[in-house]
Structure 1
């Protein structure tokens, strides 16, 4: 059997399993609306626009047979994709329109640290966590996604709780600089997916380097996925994740739909 014939048979099998419900499609995307949490920077910096719809027509004199809208928002609003050129370390690398489609889909490794983040909202995933996970589940997948499950999406419909900002600024989970460097330099993952507003911890400006996930992962040509939901529906291994950003020419990212293909009953 040729490689092409074998691949075609494999795709036909997947299609059949999808139709039969043996493979479940789990939507990891947060709804996009005016109340979707957005990252707020110190006032001296530029700010992203919240999502807004502007009605064009709705079965009325402006368009009797159709309903449609314009929308306005930032590239990095809601569940979104960070392209390498989003950060200064990757400024000469791909914009979101140039990311190869082949690199938008891959196997997923899910690292669960919900217990730790419930005890400490500023918990930082570290290299020993990643090594321990691999000792139990095997190596992180080449050309796959690392999804960091923290349970933070339980706050996603409450912008204040989601930001968790106090006198010392926001406190949300993330990665240590060492873990970000390890993923950037010593693994073949496509990128990192998180439940929080961005791939870095809320207090990442205090780390060295600041914002290590953005700096190191995007600088290495890897990607970020943020504000994911339903990671509890995914097994530690065995799912396939597909991220679909808009191909905005020159864009640094895009809101996207993120789907996971999961064996039914895997969790």
Structure 2
């Protein structure tokens, strides 16, 4: 083997080629059926995804197929930049998020049983500290909350789980959100639900504490993740690739995880 083929990138390439490292898809398919956050009628609505055909090997373009896409920034599996929230207004947009922060290790905390028993389950600081006692410190990367909610993502009604009191989906309690933002090294927080906050977070103090505290600390959010059950509690490397939208508060994103094949679930 030549010296130039023994570097770290070459080692990773070889591991991907041999299957020693697996690539896990964490992105939900994006289509007109993708669930979309519902806001009160007096607020600006998030438009659903729409694909409009421009040509398909016909008189509009004989040799090519292409489309227009119409969507909100925060539809489907997507990335929240800090300036998405008023508390993070002075931080970066999607286009200026440093690429060095978009590829980082991930920790996965599994609260599927709790969220199945109670759709309004809230992650507490004590839950994360219990995870740390078993798995070590949180990384300077992503904390991903697994709740099993991805199994509902094929259906808007099931996914939003709303009644006349609002949506009922799991999330994070305000004290934990503030602690994660201010006292842990994580770069961002990821969930399987439609947004990083719980469905009832509009009732919290402060309202929407994950958005308020984490984006206010210059950290990031990723949502509507799939296949978290395939990731180990530690050891995965996350690749988060939003569109580089100038001035963008967020973007649909392709999110992948690299895992040691023997450590994947």
Using the size of structure 1 for normalisation, the TM-score is 0.96
2:40 aligns to what? Answer: 42
2:197 aligns to what? Answer: 200
Q: Once the 2 structures are TM-superposed, how far is the Cα of residue 265 of structure 1 from its aligned partner?
A: 3.0
Displaced runs of 4+ in structure 1, greater than 2 A?
5-8
Distance 2:206 2:159 in 1: 24
Q: Once the 2 structures are TM-superposed, how far is the Cα of residue 6 of structure 1 from its aligned partner?
A: 10
Distance 1:231 1:85 in 2: 27
1:160 aligns to what? Answer: 157
Distance 1:159 1:7, change over 3 A: farther
Aligned partner (choices 175, 178, 186) of residue 178 of structure 1: 175
Distance 1:146 1:186 in 2: 13
* Local SS of the residue matching 2:17: helix
CA shift digits 1:163-207 (9 cap, x unpaired): 000121100000000110111000111100000000000000011
In angstroms, what is the RMSD of aligned CA positions? Answer: 1.2
Distance 1:41 1:49 in 2: 11
Distance 2:260 2:91 in 1: 35
Q: Once the 2 structures are TM-superposed, how far is the Cα of residue 8 of structure 1 from its aligned partner?
A: 6.6
CA shift digits 1:43-99 (9 cap, x unpaired): 000001100011110000000000000100000000000000000000111011010
Aligned partner (choices 9, 28, 35) of residue 11 of structure 1: 9
1:261 aligns to what? Answer: 258
Distance 1:90 1:7 in 2: 43
Alignment of 1:18-29 (within 5 A): 18-29=16-27
Instruction: Point out where structure 2 has 5 or more consecutive residues left out of the alignment.
Output: none
Alignment of 1:32-71 (within 5 A): 32-71=30-69
Alignment of 1:241-260 (within 5 A): 241-260=238-257
Q: Once the 2 structures are TM-superposed, how far is the Cα of residue 11 of structure 1 from its aligned partner?
A: 1.1
* Local SS of the residue matching 1:11: helix
1:187 aligns to what? Answer: 184
Distance 1:168 1:65, change over 3 A: same
Distance 1:145 1:205 in 2: 24
Distance 2:226 2:19 in 1: 21
* Local SS of the residue matching 2:76: coil
Aligned residue pairs total 262
Distance 2:262 2:71 in 1: 37
* Local SS of the residue matching 2:75: coil
Aligned partner (choices 77, 89, 92) of residue 91 of structure 1: 89
2:107 aligns to what? Answer: 109
Q: Once the 2 structures are TM-superposed, how far is the Cα of residue 252 of structure 1 from its aligned partner?
A: 0.1
CA shift digits 1:11-68 (9 cap, x unpaired): 1111000000110000100000001001010000000110001111000000000000
Instruction: Point out where structure 1 has 5 or more consecutive residues left out of the alignment.
Output: none
2:139 aligns to what? Answer: 141
Aligned partner (choices 207, 214, 228) of residue 217 of structure 1: 214
Using the size of structure 2 for normalisation, the TM-score is 0.97
Q: Once the 2 structures are TM-superposed, how far is the Cα of residue 7 of structure 1 from its aligned partner?
A: 11
* Local SS of the residue matching 2:239: strand
